[in-house]
Every structure is written in C-alpha cells, then in structure tokens.
Amino acid sequence: MPEGPEVEVLRREIEPELVGLQVVKIDRSNKALRFDVSYDEMNQLSQKTIKAVTRVGKVLIWRFNTAEELHFMLGMTGRFDWRYSDTAAEKHEHICFTLKKAQSVVHEQLVFVDPRRFGGWRYFARPTRPSVGVDGFGEQRCDLGWIDRLVASSRALKELLLDQTLVAGIGNIYASEICFQLGIHPALPGHQVPNSMLERLIPMIDAVLFDAASRGGSTLKDYRTPRGRIGRFPELAGVYGRAGSPCPRCQQSEIKRIFIGQRASFFCPQCQVMP
C-alpha cells in the first residue's frame, strides 16, 4: 500500500513532467472509485493548466492556474502510468488525462489505474488542505498539538502512528520501522511513552520517511512510479516483513510478528522491551 514516501516519490517524478501541461480532456470508466469527481467538475478543468504538484500525508495534489485543485488518494492499489501511443487501455484504468503543452499539438496521456478501487480523486474549486493532521515530512516538528493527543491516548503507539489525523503519511511499514529505530515496543500505550522517547520520536518520523523517499519508496504490492521505477526500501528495512529472521541490531533475537489494531506489526523482543 502506498504510504507517504511512495506518494512523495511519485510527486517528485511527476511534478516536472506535469507542470505547464494543459488539460485537453478527461475520460473515466463507469466504475465508481471510493472518492470520485462528477462529470460537471471534470468539465470545469478543460483547458486549465497544471501549475504545481504537492502532497500532504498520502494525498497527492494537482494545483491549476485557476486555484482549482485535484486531490488523489492511492488507497491500496492506485497508481499513475504514462500511456504510450501504441498501448491499449489497461485493465483497471479508471481515469485518463489527455494533456498537452501550450502551443503544442502533441497529446500525452496519463492514466490512473486502481484494481481494488479503494483510491480515487476529489475536485476543489479553491485551495483546500486535506482533512488530516500534520504532515510527517517535517511539519510534525513545528506543530506539536499531535503530541498532546498521543500522550492522552491509551491506544498502542504503533496504532497512533498510523492515525492520519495525528501525523499524516505514515503507513504500516514505516510505523514498524519508526518503533524499531527508537527501540520502543509498538504496543506501548501512548500515555506510557516516556518524555525522553517523545523527544526522539518527533525527528525520527521524518528521518524514516525522507530516507524511504530518497530510496524510491517500497516495492510492496507491486508499487512502481509512472515511468516504471521501483523502490529499494525493503532491502534496507530493519523489521518489516522479517518475522523469524535475526534482528539486524542485536543479532540474538528473532523478529516477531504480532497484530496491533488488526495490522501486522514487526518488532524485536530484545531491542524493543515494554518498560
């Protein structure tokens, strides 16, 4: 499932290619996505030019020259692909953007593919921040209101890290890695996280996310970018998906898998003890 780092990798790749392109037309399949745009809203964007591509948490945002915005949620299996002129429509293709450079007659097509349809898109007439908490790529250092909510909670730390209304952009892989890097048990309730650990948690979040983004994100669930690049994060993951393997830190204990809030969680019982 794409998390903040995969969306950031996508943004970095797609922004220089999309900025300055004008919408010729937008086509869509007749299958509903979890988040959807009406035909009326689609028509609003005809002839509009993409001005910037940004991201908040896991939401990718296209900004237009008119202040309108499209927000994309990749859900479980959403991704963008550039369609080359000689290829047919993909099986689970739901949106097709036909785009062109100003003054040019050459059309390019970017498609949104989503086999499981848990992703989708939204239209906004004005700049709108997605309704999520602080972005885990640095914002969480400046605006600390989320820490108050974390330490008031009896929920497991790893579950809190996945809560997009606290810090946006952390998914299941990186929540396990953040706990491992900190040497903290992922099931520790928020109100029991010591202050010394909170001081390390705040910068560790963006350290892990930026590091993953710089490696191209993860390759899990066939994730790849619109030009077909894949990430390298799993090669370097400390614990995620490594149940039964020796801990890369202590080399003594085996990585264990437990379920926290119905999500698989990986940790080292020796390096991440409950206080």
**Catalytic amino acids?**
2-3, 58, 263
Among 67, 125, 144, 250, binds Zn ion (CB under 5 A): 250
Listed in sequence order, the DSSP H helices in the chain are 4-18, 39-44, 139-142, 145-151, 157-162, 172-182, 195-214, 233-236
The site map against Zn ion for 204-243 (x = CB under 5 A) is ----------------------------------------
**Applying CB under 5 A, does 273 fall inside the site for Zn ion?**
no
Q: ∠ at Cα 246 (208, 219), nearest 5°?
A: 45
130/238 with CB nearer Zn ion = 238
Q: Which stretch binds Zn ion (CB under 5 A): 22-30, 156-164, 202-210, 253-261?
A: 253-261
* Alpha-carbon gap, residue 68 to 62, rounded angstroms: 9
29/253 with CB nearer Zn ion = 253
Strand partners, 35: 120
* Alpha-carbon gap, residue 160 to 177, rounded angstroms: 14
Minimum distance of Zn ion from residue 120's CB (angstroms): 40
Among 9, 247, 265, 267, binds Zn ion (CB under 5 A): 247
Q: 3-state class of 40 per DSSP?
A: helix
**Applying CB under 5 A, does 249 fall inside the site for Zn ion?**
yes
Site size toward Zn ion, by CB under 5 A? 7
* Alpha-carbon gap, residue 41 to 253, rounded angstroms: 55
- Interacting residues with Zn ion (CB under 5 A): 247, 249-250, 253, 268, 270-271
